[in-house]
Amino acid sequence: MLIIIEKAILHILDFAGGGPVLSGQELELEQSTREFLTRHVEKTIGSQDAKTGKFYENSEFSGHLAEYLGGGSSFTDFSCQVAEAMYQPLSHAEDIECADLFVCQLRVDDTPQLVLFKCTNNHGYVHQVNVAEDGSIATGVLDSYGLLPNLSQRMEEFAYINLDTKEVLIKAKRYSIDGNKVFVLPELLLECVQAPSPNETIKEINKAVKKVTEAYCQDQVEAAAAVKSYIAENLPPDGHLDPQEVGRAVFKDNPSMQEDYRQEMENGGFSEPVVVNQEATLKKMRKHRLSTDTGIELVIPTEFFENTEFVEFYKDDDGFMSITLKNIQNITNK
């Protein structure tokens, strides 16, 4: 992935000092600044928790963006509009903490993107050096509240706007404002509709399968295993996952369960296909993690789960379940 940072600016959303601190100058794109922004782009642009979105027709943000791209305003002025528009609703949120807002224009594999990074100021400690009047040096520890996320952390909230297609990729937090729970970034700033994220969709698939299986008094462990097996065996290289196909495969012998599953997914707004990260998703699907009510935990590869030569599940006459592990040559204590 080739990332080229073209422009960037940092505004401070100071909710304790009475207003935002808006920069009148773009960031100097020195090596350390480029590395900071590039690493955070690499960590966020493929996030499976991010949602895709499209602007509403009357989105003010979209209008300001079009004006900027058309040369009607400077990058600095446009970024200040963004910071002000984000600050206003957040200033009324409960328990809001001071934050920083990066506005960046960059290219990812030659695709132009406008990127917003909103990060809560971290609390930490730094060393301090003081020089006395006699020239002696005294070191100390300074309590600092304005630390940015380090390179091993992820940005709390972000938005990517594809400047060619105007498609949006968003990860946002919900804030309590005047008694209402609101996603400020997509709903009040960008004004766009959101589709479920890949991770949300997979969680909803498992939730719907569990609910339908319970209603029909079927084996929940077997159904959950069938979901993982289907995804592991059928996920295409482009990561295109259709939730309805999963339901048809898992409940292939029971049309009534298929229909109930379909209704569950549609009612939850998860009926449309999503594109998942193939490598990360397959890594999760290749293993089943089981926990028993006796405290025993098992990790079983998907390829062995339904193979009775290695693992066998059966119910005893007294209603308890037993698991038999077979063909084991060696056991390692980890």
- pTM for this prediction: 0.80
- pLDDT band, residue 144 (cuts 50/70/90): low
> In the prediction, which pLDDT does 75 show?
97
- Inform me whether the pLDDT recorded for 139 exceeds 80: no
CB-count exposure of residue 158 (10 Å: 0-12, 13-18, 19+): buried
Of the CA atoms within 13 Å of residue 126, those in its CB half-sphere come to 9
CB atoms within 10 A of CB 49: 11
Cα–Cα distance, 259 to 134 (Å, whole number): 83
The pLDDT of residue 39 is 94
**Could you tell me the pLDDT band of residue 247, with boundaries at 50, 70 and 90?**
very high
User: pLDDT exceeding 90 applies to what percent of the chain?
Assistant: 54
What per-residue confidence (pLDDT) applies to 183?
Answer: 94
- 190-227 in b/e burial notation, b at 16+ Cβ within 10 A? bbbebbbbbbbbbebbeebbeebbeeeeeeeeebbbbb
Residue 8: per-residue pLDDT: 97
Q: What is the pLDDT of residues 90-138, one digit of tens each?
A: 998 988 888 899 999 999 999 999 999 999 877 677 777 888 777 888 7
